[in-house]
Amino acid sequence: MADNTYDFDLLIIGSGPGGYVAAIRAAQLGLKTACVESRETLGGTCLNVGCIPSKALLHASELFEEAHSGALERFGVTVTGAKLDLKAMLAEKVSAVKGLTDGVEFLFKKNKVEWLKGHASFEDAHTVKIGRKKVTAKEIVIATGSSVTPLPGVDVDNEGGVIVDSTGALALPKVPKHMVVIGGGVIGLELGSVWRRLGAEVTVIEFLDQILPGMDGEVRKEAAKLFKKQGFDIRTGTKVTGAKAIKTKATLTVEPAKGGEAETIEADCVLVAIGRRPNTEGFGLDKIGLETNARGQIEIDGEFRTSVDGVRAIGDVVPGPMLAHKAEDEGIAVAEWIAGQVGIINHDVIPSVVYTMPEIAAVGLTTEEAKEKGHEVKVGKFPMMANSRAKTNRDTDGFVKIVADAETDRVLGVHIVASLAGTMIAQAAQAMEFGATSEDIAYTCHAHPTHSEAVKEAAMAVQGKPIHM
């Protein structure tokens, strides 16, 4: 498809999960493709300072807690003198990240994707400037991702290690005695979990009246109960009005969200985790007349086209959940559209996972959303406590909940709290992609003994007929 009018058929700005996947797929489809990235490594936030390093620390901290807390003794494994080597733990995280970012670089070379190193800025709809160099492309895809949302009155200084964002919280030089997490969402709870397991006292401050905004009501209640049991101090309905770092300590001022008397809290480390915002500034969008919506996102049509001809956008900069796998699927779809094929992504079936212990995973509508959309619903719930494998593993926190349409029995949403929820949710997403009813899941044979049998039993519970409870 090479068009000699331009340097490239396709230029992608950003090499995160959306950008790098789009670049590889486009190259596979025969497009002359380049990807602009200003970091020293490919992979964006997710691989460098997000999903991957946080999972490395979550896994390592779980292993430490198992060995240190005596949890293994009931299985006949006695560990004495277990010590934390934080330096080694952080080095393993770095090694995991390097392996994966090097892997993306290898895939670029294998697929003949050109990596243009530097920061891209639009000159016009088909031209970007990278340093002193200008590059042209027939189509340009904006995949610049998102960054941490700042909190007014709280200055983040990752180097100082006292008031940090998610990037700083992945590399603290020592375990804080007391960590305050501002924000009871996914990132705050995951990173709070890491440091709590390594020995910190963790206080979570959430402005809303419940943690995990946007998730199913029952899941939010269950999660709060489990995290409190683990030793988190969760303070909901609370607003942070300021935080100051003095040497190695921080002082926060907080007050009730609905108004009331202010108080101060002292901490060794404050993690600001109130969300992320799209990266749309500094790329010269004004030069091509591309405006963002009220939330700072770039609006697109069903083929990812922006209002500017020849410019498309995917991932965290466009509406929808800010999730790596959503960006990846959009990356494949946008490349296929540009190559003259049909790109397919079903935005109604995007799973989401919170990698705490237990994990929390969801796909589709919550009970509340289903009712708001006018569905009469039937709900089936099955506790992990009644699942034979979970019982054997002493791993019984949580449940599986299936929300189905009362009339058609079609599955509208699945919500799982369980140690393996992130893996279990794939089955639910696939079932929903095929338009499954709860009966379809209930009559699918599941291997025994597995955690996944709880999904089958929850589907049977939709009809009011689970076997093991």
119 a catalytic residue: no
Confirm or deny that 265 is annotated as ligand binding. no
Confirm or deny that 187 is annotated as ligand binding. yes
Give the burial string for 20-30 (b: 16+ CB within 10 Å, else e): bbbbbbbbbbe
Confirm or deny that 257 is annotated as ligand binding. no
Confirm or deny that 407 is annotated as ligand binding. no
> What does the block give as tokens for 398?
């949580």
Confirm or deny that 100 is annotated as ligand binding. no
**Torsion sign (Cα): 290, 291, 296, 300:** negative
Confirm or deny that 95 is annotated as ligand binding. no
Residue type (1 letter), 290? L
Confirm or deny that 240 is annotated as ligand binding. no
Confirm or deny that 206 is annotated as ligand binding. yes
Confirm or deny that 324 is annotated as ligand binding. yes
Rounded (10°) CA dihedral 100, 53, 325, 290: -100
Confirm or deny that 275 is annotated as ligand binding. yes
> What does the block give as tokens for 458?
């929850």
Confirm or deny that 188 is annotated as ligand binding. yes
Residue type (1 letter), 206? E
Confirm or deny that 145 is annotated as ligand binding. yes
Confirm or deny that 302 is annotated as ligand binding. no
Q: Which residue in 59, 415, 448, 451 is the catalytic one?
A: 448
Confirm or deny that 199 is annotated as ligand binding. no
Confirm or deny that 316 is annotated as ligand binding. yes
Binding residues are: 55, 144-146, 183-190, 206, 275, 316, 322-325
Binding residues for FAD are: 55, 144-146, 316, 322-325
Binding residues for NAD(+) are: 183-190, 206, 275
Catalytic positions: 448
